[in-house]
Amino acid sequence: MTGAPSYPAAHARLLAYMKAHGLKLTRQREQILEAFLGAEKHVGVEELLGLVRRLQPGIGHATVYRTMKLFVDSGIATERKFSEGATLYEPEDGGHHHHDHLICTRCGTIVEWENEAIEELQEQVARQHGFVLTDHKMELYGLCSNCQKKA
């Protein structure tokens, strides 16, 4: 813990967003940011809370929920609601290349992938129905190679 942010790009983006909106950078927000980016996978609020509490035992649910919402608004995080249970968050890297998920229904492994051809077909489908696309969500569920062996 040097005090220097480990993720300068995200940190900068957050600062810019906050400045633009008259918000404040608090210790909690910095710590949540570090924990969130350090996790390097999809994290839920409960898990994040656990991570941050190592540094900041008194922090409450509400703060994490509110902060993650802030991160989403500032473009640092994306919210994912998978089929089961609670919302997970993942870092939104600056480059806007969208990706989707492949999820093992047995062990819960999540693999990220992207496919330009599918994206184009999606646009096509939307156009055919007179829609303008703003977003999409695609999850493939199956068994990963490990779990196939075990099954």
Residues of this chain that interact with DNA (CB under 7 A) are: 18, 22-29, 44-46, 56, 58-63, 65-67, 69, 85-87
Tell me the per-residue interface mask from 80 to 119 with its own copies, x by CB under 8 A, - otherwise: -x-x------------------x-xx-----x-x-x-xx-
Residue 101 Cα distances to 19, 22, 82, 138, 141, angstroms: 33, 35, 10, 7, 9
CA-closest candidate to residue 74, choices 141, 20, 112, 118: 20
Nearer to its own copies, 24 or 129 (CB): 129
Nearer to DNA, 41 or 127 (CB): 41
Regarding 142 and contact with its own copies (CB under 8 A), the answer is yes
Judge contact between 23 and 7, C-beta under 8 A: no
Shortest approach of DNA to residue 94 CB, angstroms?
22
Q: What is the dihedral of CA 85, 91, 97, 98, to 10 degrees?
A: 10
Judge contact between 62 and 48, C-beta under 8 A: no
Shortest approach of DNA to residue 52 CB, angstroms?
9
Find the binder of its own copies among 24, 95, 132, 150 (CB under 8 A).
132
Q: Which residues contact 29 (CB under 8 A, 6 or more apart)?
A: 14, 67, 70
Positions that interact with its own copies (CB under 8 A): 81, 83, 102, 104-105, 111, 113, 115, 117-118, 121-122, 125-126, 128-145, 148
